[in-house]
Amino acid sequence: MNNAELIVKTLRAAGVSHGFGIPSGNVLPLLEAMRVGRLPYVLTAHEGSAAFAADVMGRVTGAPGLCIATLGPGATNLTTGVGNAYLDRSPLLAITGNLPTSQLGRRIQMAIDHHTLFRPITKATLALREGEVASVLAEALEIALSEPLGPVHLDLPEDVALASATEDVPPSPTGRRLRTASEASMRRAAEILGAARRPVAVLGSSAMRLRNPHLLQSVIDRHRLPFASTTMAKGMISEDHPLSLGCIERARRQVQRQLLRSADLVVGLGYDVVEVEYEAWIGKVPLLSIDVDPVDADPSVTIAHEVIGDLDASLEWLAELPPARSEWPADLAAQHRDRFHLSLRPRLPGFVPHHAIDVVREVLPRDGILAFDVGAHTHQIASQWTAHAPRTFLITNGWSSMGFGLPAAIAAKLARPERPVVALVGDGCFQMTCGEVAVARRLGLSLPIVVLDDGWLSLIQVKQVRRHFGLYGTDLGEQEHVAPPAHYFGVPVVGARSAAELTRALKDALAADHSTIIEAKVDPSHYLDTVYD
């Protein structure tokens, strides 16, 4: 076998199920090896989407996602999604094809230094060379799967891919886990928690990578901790749990801040500050952090104690402690949750975003997967949606890039074909990635794509209004009277101008054997009242 075939055999043994990308001449040896080795290759419309899809494949399956691009512009296009995996901490391998080894470093068409390009947005950038393919690939897999997880870049010259392999397929790595926190550190955490009378927990995105996600609820139930979550951690414990407070730092954030600042201790459980820094919301409440990393916070934050180490081990220890003596009222969480959700749904005429989001939540089964995008609708969805299980609520919050939602939904459907999946995106995001609709059609995916069409880049419009700037550069130029087209790239389009119409369209789309685009015309005016308030 040649080195390209060795790469494919190694990736398949490591659990990699798909590769996403756009080919070129120097990628063809790897593409041929994927064909022969039956590692499915998904042709995307843009390399950025390929990396977004690979990120989500890594999140959902636990095996590294795989994205592939050519040198130069293919590599630069890939970086947006690779950066997403870096800040959101998803296991991923990004392979760039390159010139033959003898031409590396020369001033040649399309050639740039890939390692310099990828170094700031990956855990490592490694070169594949003859005689050092299996060993370097095994190292890359180990790095990608080691806590904290993340992307690794591999550069593959065309002649290296074609050369005869001189190595065997290496054993599949599982990734290195962190050390368990010291017993002294855990005892101090127990003292602090035991002394609190109004403790509240906040779950964060590090908790998404737990080997045993049920440990979170064990800790919450043991100590009767009212708990909130960051955007990415929604669903780690079902949000219909009686102690659930909802999502923080999205729509109607002041409602959440008011309750959190009435606590006498915040317990951060796997809270990664890349989503939102503590000083934005914690006020003067002391922090007990249980995480894989030290806290990165402004000096204004009072850090009572940090437990740093393997998160599963830390939570197992917390779950065995004597219960904390909480003095919160028994109905606190339920009353707060009702008030929070009421504030998110102002009574307004017409068809507004919160109506559309409620329809999607009602129609999508509890175990269904939602993938959505970045914009004003992100704030509303994050606060309003009730998530019931891990890895069913897919968004980027560390990187927070527009264009994530549609490729994320495609990857989720490939990874979990038995589950219903819905993409919920804004019109600006849809314009960025509408070419991926052709990918969903080509793959034969049953995938409803709900586009919240309000004619604006609404999040930026809200920011302009709040800063007393003129509305400029944010009008998408759509008119109310314009009917939706019959199809995009062969995928049928259905219009919806009311909750009832959206309900019918979405039920039909979930039952269909093909993808469907549902253009939901909504009035975005209530974003001005809910986003950032």
Length of the chain: 533
Q: Specify the pLDDT at position 146.
A: 96
Which residues lie closer than 8 Å to 8 by C-beta, 6 or more apart?
30, 33, 34, 36, 37, 39
Q: Specify the pLDDT at position 466.
A: 81
In this structure, are residues 249 and 186 in contact, taking their beta carbons and an 8 Å threshold? no
pLDDT band of residue 467 (cuts 50, 70, 90) is confident
pLDDT band of residue 523 (cuts 50, 70, 90) is confident
In this structure, are residues 467 and 515 in contact, taking their beta carbons and an 8 Å threshold? no
Q: How far apart are CA 123 and CA 209, in angstroms?
A: 17
Q: Specify the pLDDT at position 33.
A: 97
Summarised one tens digit per residue, pLDDT across range 141-195 is: 999 999 999 999 999 999 999 999 999 999 998 889 899 999 999 999 999 999 9
3-state secondary structure of 350: coil
526 pLDDT higher than 80: no
Q: Specify the pLDDT at position 78.
A: 98
Q: Specify the pLDDT at position 390.
A: 96
Which residues lie closer than 8 Å to 276 by C-beta, 6 or more apart?
230, 248, 249, 397
Average pLDDT, the chain: 94
Q: Kindly report the number of other CB atoms within 10 A of residue 258's CB atom.
A: 12
DSSP E strand stretches across 89-198:
92-98, 124-127, 151-157
Q: Specify the pLDDT at position 479.
A: 55
Predicted structure pTM score: 0.94
| 344-348, 354-358, 520-524 — most confident range | 354-358
**Among 225-239, 392-406, 459-473, 485-499, the least confident range:** 459-473
Summarised one tens digit per residue, pLDDT across range 51-107 is: 999 999 999 999 999 999 999 999 999 999 999 999 999 999 999 999 888 888 878
Summarised one tens digit per residue, pLDDT across range 406-457 is: 999 999 999 999 999 999 999 999 999 999 999 999 999 999 999 999 887 7
Q: How far apart are CA 74 and CA 97, in angstroms?
A: 9
CA distances from 18 to 35, 43, 411, 490 (A): 11, 11, 9, 24
Q: Specify the pLDDT at position 533.
A: 76
3-state secondary structure of 93: strand
Q: How far apart are CA 497 and CA 491, in angstroms?
A: 20
3-state secondary structure of 128: coil
Q: How far apart are CA 267 and CA 264, in angstroms?
A: 10
In the chain, the domains with their CATH numbers are 3-162 (3.40.50.970), 183-331 (3.40.50.1220), 344-530 (3.40.50.970)
Burial annotation 259-295 (CB, 10 A radius, 16+ → b, else e)? bbeebebbbbbbbbbbbbebeebbbebbbbbbbbbeb
Sheet holding 393-394, edge to edge: 393-394, 369-372, 421-426, 448-453, 516-521, 491-496, 487-488
pLDDT band of residue 218 (cuts 50, 70, 90) is very high
Sheet holding 151-157, edge to edge: 41-43, 19-21, 65-69, 92-98, 151-157, 124-127
169 backbone φψ class: left, alpha, beta (φ>0; ψ -120 to 50): beta
Summarised one tens digit per residue, pLDDT across range 262-314 is: 999 999 999 999 999 999 999 999 999 999 999 999 999 999 999 999 999 99
CA distances from 259 to 204, 216, 253, 256, 264 (A): 18, 21, 10, 5, 11
Q: Specify the pLDDT at position 251.
A: 94
477 pLDDT higher than 80: no
